[in-house]
Amino acid sequence: MAGRISKASLSAWRKKRGGASPDVTRCGQATFNWGQRTYIMGIINVSPDSFSGDGLSTIDAAVAQAERFVDEGVDMLDVGGESTRPNSAPISVDEELRRVIPVLERLVGRVKVPLSVDTYKFEVARRAVYTGAEMLNDIWGLKQEPRLAQLAAEQGLPIILMSNQRDKPVRNIVPAVIEDLKRAIDQSLDVGVPWQNIIIDPGVGFGKTLEQNLELVRRLDELKMLGRPVLLGTSRKSMIGLVLDLPADQRLEGTAASIAIGIANGADIVRVHDVKEMMRVAKMSDAIIRSK
């Protein structure tokens, strides 16, 4: 099996940084009690070239989907304007703002769940927070824009830190992801982000091979050594397509399997395109896993 990181060293690191096991994170009017159940993050893609085929081209369509997700029981909504599929072309700050801000403006005060903004650009994040976003989701884990941690600290917002290997592929994936997330957590703490406001994401599909993505889900429990709640995003991703030989719009069952196993291995949040179905998967998984 690939390398592992010493539990003792991570325990000493947590003690030094003053962190305990994850318990409660507050986000706007919501309170997330980690370990009690799995929380569902619904994806609102306002990018026309989304890998999943669910990109929404109008504000009305995005708002309608967000309201449907809330009716289906979603716990938080993640609004993003730039495609994260491999080899996609970056868009300008102005274009991302044009896509994201009008949707947030319509949703603030209209939905009763926290709104997250999926961006690694400081100006987009700043404007989104000014508009009403209550959580930051950084797919680069501060490697592209360290100021996102400062923004989270200043505004008292939770921040999701993802491990992304697109800039530098690695061989032993789990130790590399743990070290990368540890680095991002340290950066956040150093600028004043409270321990309880940090959420981590292994970054399934971002610079990893199929085998590495499968290994991450299989060994997800090792990330719990970092002491922070874990977000898992496998919904409709290419690893499912490669295993099942199916296009993005036919990966529901594969997504459900990966989410159920992810929950069994310690996922606290699952980020999904199909809220109603994955709510059921999470509820059943929680009944089995967390009832003990």
Determine the Cα–Cα distance for residues 14 and 17; give it in Å rounded to an integer: 5
Question: Within 10 A of 7 (CB to CB), how many other CB atoms are there?
Answer: 10
Widest Cα–Cα separation across the chain: 51
In DSSP terms, 214 is beta-bridged to none
Contact 77, 113 (CB under 8 A): yes
Determine the Cα–Cα distance for residues 234 and 41; give it in Å rounded to an integer: 12
Residues noted as catalytic: 237, 271
Question: Within 10 A of 227 (CB to CB), how many other CB atoms are there?
Answer: 20
| Alpha carbon separation from 8 to 2, 172, 225, 226, 266 (Å, rounded) | 18, 20, 9, 11, 19
